[in-house]
Amino acid sequence: MDRSGDLLPGTFEMLVLKAVSLGDMHGWGIAERIERLSGGVCGVQQGTVYPVLQRLLRRGWVVADWRVSDNQRRARYYRLTAAGRRQLADEISWWRRTIGGVDRVLGAEPREA
Amino acid sequence: MSWFHAAKQRLADLFARERADRELAEEIAHHLELETARHVRDGLDPAAARAMAHVRFGNQTMITDAARAERGHRLAEGSVQDLSWAARSLRKSPGFTALSLLTLVLGIGACTVAFSVFNTVLLRPLPFRDADRLVFIREKTAKGELRPPSFPNLVSWREQTKSFAGVAAAQFPYPRTVSAAGDAEPVRLPSLEVTRHFFSTLGVAPVIGREFSDAEHAPGPGRVAIVSYEFWRDRMNARQPLGLIRLGDVPTPVVGVLPPGFKFLQPADIYLPHEGQAGTVRSSHNYLVVAHLQSGATLAGARAEMSALSRSLKTVYGTETEAVDADVRPLLDHMVASYRVLLSVIFAAASLVLLIACTNLVSAQLARGWHREREVVVRAALGASRGRIARQLVIESTLLVALGTALALLVAFGASSAIRVIGGTLVPRLSELSLDARVVFFSVGVALVTALVVGVYPALRLARRDAGLVLRSGRSGASVRSSVWRGLVGFEVALAVMLVIGSALLIRTLRNIVSADTGFDSRGVVTAAITPQESDAAKFDDVVNALRSIPSVEGVAFTSNLPLQWGNWSGPVRRPSDPKDRNWPAMAGFRVVSPEYFTVLRQPLLRGRAFTVADRVGAPGVAIITPGIAEKLWPGQDPVGKTIATNYLFNDWLTVVGVVAEASNWSMPHGTQNEIYVPLAQREKSVGQQLIALLRTEGSPEPVMVAARRRLHEILPHSPAQIGTIDERIAKSAADRRFAMIALTAFGVIAIVLAAVGIYGVMWYIVSTRTHEIGIRMALGATAARVRRDVLTSATTMAATGVVVGMAAGAYSTKYLQSSLYGVSRLDARVYVLGTALTLGVAVLAAYLPAWRSSRVDPMEAIRDT
């Protein structure tokens, strides 16, 4: 069963926020970070970062500007805003709660039911 | 501040959509480059690395669309997209776009121009302070007639009324000879004598100097003048101090200059204090009375008070005054009331033009929709919602209407300067025509309604189509039903017929007025008005000889008043048996004429004799009257030899020596009046009183006018003459109708052209949807002529329905024109037949080209094609 990239709704957005929070980065770099850090579990379709980045831009959680990248090309770099940082914190705590809940359910013994 | 970022982003995206798309594309390209480079580093060859990068990126189109969808507000983005789609689709069919724009410019332009005229003349306040509190007052007689008040009545009102902060009056304007400086060339300019507080009642203060003082209104020598701004600027060279001007021979100090553009009812250049010379008879009618409502007073209150006041004056003065009541109405009403109906008719006509334009656009959109059905259906099949498709079509027509409105405003702007020139002399206030904010607001409103009408119906029709049916059959699912076309064509033909009938009625009215029987022969009569000075008194014989010796002049006569000029004297007439203070049996105008007057004007003498040179000072006073007076005073008797008098026009008893036929002496075409003629030689020749020479010529009047001007200038260098013809005056008296005629004719022509374009378009469309059917018929043996005839017949049937409806609507709606018509019934058969024949002819002509095209269908091709 191939479930790669099949994430909980909203999760990918959180991952993008987190990736941006690690340092200003362009689209490819963000996709690459997520892929590398997740050990290849998350982010098969790299292009998906772009709609998400547009959404984050619209919500004011990231801002973008054009800079010269490492390979001496013009690239669009994304940076987290204060609102983005707050949002990321919210999402992480939401994620922890959710995961904790899911974990507890999954770790339950027959007699606890 | 996330909402701030959001808003900023949204705006930026809205206005920089293309830029954003470009940036996204660049980002993706950069992404793929980096990804490719990574795979190359991992050991793949460049081609495989690039392929791998694409695979790992995912579907580019979908991602781009998704990214776009995330960006900005959905509705706003959709609209921007629709707008550019609409612009593209309009560019793709330049013929349709150009024709639609032309139609819109004509329709909205006509409406805008008509409204701006309506607005300028009827709606805009007068240029006085508190203009809406100014009222115009007239006396009302027992018969209900409205008369200009007399001075004593005015004074009584002024003293006793509580409703008004000020009551003032002016006389009728009167031409005077003026020179701006001692040595300047004298000119004849209109002057106006005004009462106390005239300017302050109107709320106008001189821009230089002051208003007349009470002392200056007192009788006695030493008159002063106030001049118009234009006179001061152009003739006095804007000099200060103001100094003296010469009125005739009299040096007159100027005490004030009025604001630019000031005029009361009619323009005048010289204003003089009047009260020293005011009339004392209560039954005379010489004043234009204006009053300023006291703050807190209402029009109804003022009316009630004036009625009561008139009644009490009537009780006190009995037959000395004719006024039993007073008519009080807003000043603006008085000035433009007679134009309200005609301007409303013009405005209604413009609305009809707009309706025709809308009908054309709707049918053009429907016809075009048929050609575009495939495009729309494909879009629908690809997932565009019906709402979205309808919205796109509405946006397209809105864009069209917006462009059309912008152009129409430009055209209206240009047209308004032309109307100022043409109509400025025909309709009061029209010379001030301009497009103000109200007009622009109105046009935008009209445009919105137009866009709705033109856009929504076709859009709904088109969006409703069953996509599957059209795609499967490859042909229109259900083309617009023929009843819809019949309705649209019939509708615009009906509107055009109405407009043509209206303008034809006015054209005939105008012709009737100009050729109406005035009671005298006006053709070829040249008039020369002069105001002789004291120094000119001895030169009268020279003037007569100089004018008589002009080649082609057959006769010269003199009179005190131009024919068809209002503002002369009139009064009650009595017999010796009538007591002085009784109700008068007849009213009559009063005209001073030379012996040749009736011969020169060819006014037939019915009884007795004309005046002769023997009727001069010292000889018994004589008069010639019109039959109306004779019938009133001496019914069934011969009036010649009887004596008459009037209270204040002259003191002596006059012996009637002749009766002449009545003539239209005051205005056209209001018919004839009672008139008393007295010999010029028996009247005191008063200085500063105007004298009019009438020159009868058989040839063209122009050379006589030139010669008269030159000769009069030689003899009377200080009394400039005003030269004209009576025919000019007759034409001028129908000015309001001339303006309405010009406007309705213009709209009628536009209406016919638009209807023709509409019929042409519809027939063209019908023919092109039936090519297949026509091809089959021709293959089965129908001749080209037969096919052509069928198309023409179907066009004629559509138009004929419209003609019938249009005639009925015309017969109903021309009742609003009734009061403006003269000498023609509003149901005049000739007008209706001609109007409908013209419209029907144009309709058939418009259908001819499509009919011809239908007959050129190649049966083989038409059948194969489908």
User: Which residue in chain B is spatially nearest to A35 when comparing CA positions?
Assistant: B56
Beta pairing, strands B654-660 & B622-625: parallel
Average pLDDT over residues B282-311: 88
Any bridge partners for residue B292, and if so which? Answer: B134, B166
CA separation for the pair B320, B281 (Å, rounded): 8
Shortest distance between the Cα of A6 and any Cα of chain B, in A, equals 15
* pLDDT on residue A7: 61
Q: Which amino acid is at B387?
A: G
Banded model confidence at residue A3, pLDDT cuts 50, 70, 90: very low
Chain A contact set for B6 (CB, 8 A): 58-60
Higher pLDDT, B866 or B50: B50
User: Which residue in chain B is spatially nearest to A61 when comparing CA positions?
Assistant: B2
Q: Of B56, B60, B71, which is closest to A58 when you measure between CB atoms? A: B71
pLDDT tens-digit series, residues B571-584: 778 888 776 655 66
CA separation for the pair B278, B276 (Å, rounded): 6
Q: Which of B634, B826, B382 is nearest to B374 (CA)?
A: B382
Most A CBs within 10 Å: which of B30, B40, B64, as the mutation test of the A interface? B30
User: Which residue in chain B is spatially nearest to A65 when comparing CA positions?
Assistant: B23
Most A CBs within 10 Å: which of B10, B22, B34, as the mutation test of the A interface? B34
Inter-chain residue contact B30 with A73, CB threshold 8 Å: yes
Inter-chain residue contact A57 with B31, CB threshold 8 Å: no
Say yes or no: A45 contacts chain B, CB-CB below 8 A. Answer: yes
Whether the upstream peptide bond of residue B720 has omega within 30° of 0, thus cis, is no
Q: Is the pLDDT confidence value at B477 over 50? A: no
Chain B contact set for A4 (CB, 8 A): none
Q: Which of A68-82, B60-74, B212-226 has the lowest mean pLDDT?
A: B60-74
Q: Which of A48-62, B122-136, B669-683, B835-849 has the lowest mean pLDDT?
A: B669-683
Q: Is the pLDDT confidence value at B703 over 80? A: yes
Chain B contact set for A48 (CB, 8 A): 58, 63
- CA distances B26 to A33, A60, B13, B20, B46, Å, are 20, 22, 16, 10, 20
Chain A contact set for B56 (CB, 8 A): 44-46
Shortest distance between the Cα of A33 and any Cα of chain B, in A, equals 13
CA separation for the pair B592, B578 (Å, rounded): 24
Q: Is the pLDDT confidence value at B551 over 80? A: yes
Q: Is the pLDDT confidence value at A2 over 60? A: no
Chain B contact set for A29 (CB, 8 A): 34
Say yes or no: A46 contacts chain B, CB-CB below 8 A. Answer: yes
User: Which residue in chain A is spatially nearest to B23 when comparing CA positions?
Assistant: A76
Higher pLDDT, B445 or B286: B445
Specify the pTM. Answer: 0.67
Q: Is the pLDDT confidence value at B101 over 70? A: yes
Q: Which two tokens stand for residue B300?
A: 């109804």
Go through B552-579 and write b for each residue having 16 or more CB atoms within 10 A of its CB, e for each that does not. ebebbbbbbbbbbbeebbbbbbbeeebe
Indicate the helix (H) or strand (E) that contains B49: helix B46-57
Say yes or no: A50 contacts chain B, CB-CB below 8 A. Answer: yes
Banded model confidence at residue A5, pLDDT cuts 50, 70, 90: very low
Banded model confidence at residue B468, pLDDT cuts 50, 70, 90: very low
* pLDDT on residue B182: 64
> What does the angle CA A19 – CA A25 – CA A27 come to, to the nearest 5 degrees?
85
Beta pairing, strands B675-679 & B586-593: parallel
* pLDDT on residue B497: 92
pLDDT tens-digit series, residues B315-330: 888 877 878 899 999 9
CA separation for the pair B85, B21 (Å, rounded): 16
Find the distance separating the first CA and the last CA of chain A, reported in whole Å: 29
Average per-residue pLDDT for chain A: 83
Say yes or no: A67 contacts chain B, CB-CB below 8 A. Answer: no
CA separation for the pair B643, B407 (Å, rounded): 70
The DSSP code for B645 is B
Q: Is the pLDDT confidence value at B135 over 90? A: yes
User: Which residue in chain B is spatially nearest to A75 when comparing CA positions?
Assistant: B27
Beta pairing, strands B250-257 & B244-247: antiparallel
Whether the Cβ atoms of residue B446 and residue B111 lie closer than 8 Å to each other: yes
Q: Which two tokens stand for residue B252?
A: 């007159």
* pLDDT on residue B380: 61
User: Which residue in chain A is spatially nearest to B67 when comparing CA positions?
Assistant: A51
A 10 A CB-CB count for B735 gives: 14
Assembly ipTM: 0.88
* pLDDT on residue B686: 53
Inter-chain residue contact A71 with B23, CB threshold 8 Å: no
Say yes or no: A60 contacts chain B, CB-CB below 8 A. Answer: yes
Shortest distance between the Cα of A34 and any Cα of chain B, in A, equals 14
Q: Sign of torsion, CA B652 B656 B660 B661?
A: positive
Average pLDDT over residues B218-226: 83
Q: Of A28, A74, A83, which is closest to B34 when you measure between CB atoms? A: A28
Whether the upstream peptide bond of residue B563 has omega within 30° of 0, thus cis, is no
Average pLDDT over residues B512-535: 79
User: Which residue in chain B is spatially nearest to A69 when comparing CA positions?
Assistant: B30
Say yes or no: A4 contacts chain B, CB-CB below 8 A. Answer: no
CA separation for the pair B771, B411 (Å, rounded): 40
Average pLDDT over residues B535-554: 83
Q: Which of B6-20, B646-660, B778-792 has the lowest mean pLDDT?
A: B6-20
Inter-chain residue contact B28 with A31, CB threshold 8 Å: no
Please spell the DSSP secondary structure of B223-268, one letter per residue: --EEE-HHHHHHTSTT-SS--EEEETTEEEEEEEEPPTT--BSB--
Inter-chain residue contact A54 with B60, CB threshold 8 Å: no
Banded model confidence at residue B10, pLDDT cuts 50, 70, 90: low
Residue whose structure tokens are 């030493």: B222
- CA distances B590 to B522, B569, B678, Å, are 20, 6, 8
Average per-residue pLDDT for chain B: 82
Coil, strand, or helix at residue B352? helix
Chain A contact set for B31 (CB, 8 A): 26-28, 31, 46-47
Chain B contact set for A57 (CB, 8 A): 9, 71
Chain A contact set for B26 (CB, 8 A): 74, 76
Shortest distance between the Cα of B82 and any Cα of chain A, in A, equals 22
The proportion of chain B whose per-residue pLDDT surpasses 90, expressed as a percent, equals 17
